[in-house]
Every structure is written in structure tokens, then in C-alpha cells.
Amino acid sequence: MPVTLKSTVGLIKGTPKSYTEEELKENLATDVIILKVERMRTMDLNRNLKDTEIVKIVCKAKDLPANVELYGCFFKVELYLFPIKQCKNCWAFGHRKEKCWRTTKCRECGENHAGGSCKRKSCINCGGSHDPTDRQCPEKKKQIQINLTMQQEKMTYREARAKWNEQNQYKLLSNEEEFPDITPTLHKRNPTSTQYKTIRGTTKKPDHQLLPSAPQTKVSYADKVKEKAQSQFVENSHKTND
Ligand SMILES: [Zn+2]
Ligand SMILES: [Zn+2]
Ligand SMILES: [Zn+2]
């Protein structure tokens, strides 16, 4: 059973910057309890934090309210997406540097040393030739999906990751590029009565349209090898004759 998280975090946009967090917490009217209000801030070019009109609200509820009211105005509540946790010490996902228990890994090559000077690019999480923080990294994309599941379905990181693995284990196997094309082998054979038995559990001749016989013009790989060997044999025998 998934562990249900006790609170949900939402975002409301367009709240005037003049309202303080305390004022908002006291005056936002909705049908759930608001535990915390936090105004989002951005950093300007001089690295100073500046207030925005976006406010984060932590609600004591499994689901977010659709709207909140403030002095007669309604604000739509959106789901707040938590930033993905990526460690700046070992570059793995799911924890931060402050809680890392692993040896330092190089950001560039993924080996056991501090990064900053390596030329070789090898992502520690997927082996690709990019930085481990690259948004195109397949492992990073997976983490974004896990993050979304966590918040939409109120799951812990472990639960959401288990769900992703469960949903994607067959997807990986169904990737056709991973397997050699077996069609020519199937087409090459003309099924014998024994093969009908194995395929259909009966010796009854199958419908011709269901199992069409292969075009006779197709040359198999074995035929090509045989042909080449024969031509080489002929060539060699000419040489011996000279
Ligand atoms: Zn770490
Ligand atoms: Zn390195
Ligand atoms: Zn990667």
C-alpha cells in the first residue's frame, strides 16, 4: 500500500507582492487547512533575491483545492512540482550532497575523483557522452516522470520509482532495435505437417492466408555463403591450373 503523504503543495499565481506571507496565510479562504504560505523568489543579475507574484501553499489535505479566495478574488491552484534531487557529490538522483554517503565522483568522466579538469564526457547515470545534469539524459527524464508521479499520486520517491520500473520493464524489452530481425528465417521455411502440429496443436492444414509460404526468389544467407565458397573454389582451381 502506498504511504499517503499528509500534505500537498500548490501554487497560486498573480498575488500582489504587497501581501506578506502571514497576511496571505490568514486571509486565503478555502475548504482545506493551509499549513504554510511561501512567496517564490528569483535571483536577479546582481544575485539579489526578488519577490515574484507566485505563492506556494502547503495544504493539509490529500488533494489540492481547485481555487482559493483572497479578498473576494479567486485564484486557481496548480500543482507545485518539487525540484528533482540530484547529488552534487556522486551525481546520483534521489538525495542531495549534504546527505551523500558515497565517494566523490567526477562530473565529467564518472570516475572516483573530483571533477573540473577531465576532457572525457561520460554520464555517470547512463554512460552517455553528456553532463549528468543534462535534461536530455534518459535517466534525468525518468527522474522527471518519477517526480511527477510522486506528486500526482501522493507517493514517496521509492513508491514512485517502483511504479515506473514496473510500467517500463516490458517497454524496454519491446524495443525492436534491441533484437535482430527474425522475419527472413520465418519466411524461408515452408511449414511441414509437424510444424503445423507445434504451432496449432493439430495436423490440420492451416489456412493458407494465415501462413503464406515464402517467395521462392529469396536467397538465404546460407545460400550466399555457399555461392561465395563455390566461386572462390572455382577461382582457386583456375589459379592451380595456370
Ligand atoms: Zn551522492
Ligand atoms: Zn574525471
Ligand atoms: Zn545521462
Q: Which pLDDT tens digits describe the chain residue by residue (242 residues)?
A: 343 457 889 999 999 999 999 999 999 999 999 999 999 999 989 999 999 999 999 999 888 899 999 999 999 999 888 888 999 999 999 899 999 999 999 999 999 998 888 888 899 999 999 999 998 999 999 999 998 898 888 888 889 999 999 988 776 555 555 555 555 544 444 444 444 444 444 444 544 455 555 555 556 667 777 777 777 665 555 544 44
Strands (E), the chain: 8-12, 33-43, 49-60, 67-70, 73-76, 78-79
My answer on whether 56 and 105 are in the same domain is no
Q: Which of 136, 165, 194 is the last residue of a domain?
A: 165
127 and 159 belong to one structural domain? yes
Residue of 37, 49, 131, 136 lying closest to 80 (CA atoms): 37
Q: What gap in Å lies between CA 229 and CA 59, rounded to an integer?
A: 77
* CA–centroid distance, residue 113 to ligand 1 (Å): 13
173 C-alpha to ligand 3 centroid (Å): 20
- State whether 12 and 72 are in the same domain: yes
Placement of cell 494465415 in the chain: 210
Domain boundary (150, 165, 180) is at: 165
Q: Is residue 1 domain-resident?
A: no
Ligand nearest to the CA of 98: 1
Q: Which long-range contacts (CB under 8 A, 24 or more apart) does 68-72 make?
A: 68/12, 68/28, 68/29, 68/30, 68/34, 69/28, 69/29, 69/30, 70/15, 70/19, 70/24, 70/27, 70/28, 70/29, 71/27
Are 69 and 119 part of one and the same domain?
A: no
Q: For residues 87 and 103, is the Cβ–Cβ distance under 8 A?
A: no
State residue 173's pLDDT score.
54
**Structural domain containing residue 102:** 97-165
Q: Is residue 56 part of a domain?
A: yes
Q: Considering the domain boundaries, does residue 203 fall inside one? A: no
| Cα torsion 116, 118, 120, 123: sign | negative
Task: Give me the residues near ligand 1 (ion), CB cutoff below 5 Å.
Answer: 87, 89-90, 100, 102
The total of structural domains in the chain comes to 2
Ligand lying nearest the CA atom of residue 107 = 2
Same domain, 73 and 106: no
Asked if 58 contacts 31 with a C-beta cutoff of 8 angstroms, the reply is no
Does residue 237 lie in a domain region? no
At which of 28, 45, 79 does a domain end? 79
Q: Is residue 222 part of a domain?
A: no
Same domain, 75 and 102: no
Please name which of 39, 47, 35 lies closest in space to residue 8, comparing C-alpha atoms.
35
Q: Model's pTM, two decimal places?
A: 0.53
Q: Which ligand is nearest to the CA of 118?
A: 2
* Whether residue 75 is found in the same domain as residue 109: no
Q: How far is the CA of 152 from the centre of ligand 2 (A)?
A: 37
Shared-domain flag, residues 111 and 61: no
> Which pLDDT value is given to residue 27?
94
Q: How far is the CA of 78 from the centre of ligand 3 (A)?
A: 30
Residues 75 and 104 placed together within one structural domain of the fold = no
The residue type found at 118 is C
Ligand number nearest to the C-alpha of 113: 2
Are 41 and 69 within one domain?
yes
**AA identity, residue 104:** T
For residue 161, what are the contacts with CB-CB under 8 A and spacing of at least 6? 94, 146
| Distance from residue 151's CA to the centre of ligand 1 (Å) | 23
In a domain, 136, yes or no: yes
Question: Identity (one letter) of the amino acid at 179?
Answer: F
Per-residue pLDDT at 242: 47
Q: Specify the pLDDT at position 6.
A: 75
Span from the CA of 100 to the centroid of ligand 1 (angstroms): 4
**Same domain for 102 and 66?**
no
> Could you tell me the three cell numbers for 234?
572455382
pLDDT for res 197: 46
Q: How crowded is the C-beta side of 95, counted as CA atoms within 13 Å?
A: 10
Q: What pLDDT is stored for residue 179 in this prediction?
A: 52
Whether 152 and 113 share a structural domain = yes
Q: DSSP character for 17?
A: T
Residue 3 lies in a domain: no
Ligand lying closest to the C-alpha of residue 92:
1
In a domain, 63, yes or no: yes
Alpha carbon of 94 to ligand 1 centroid (Å): 9
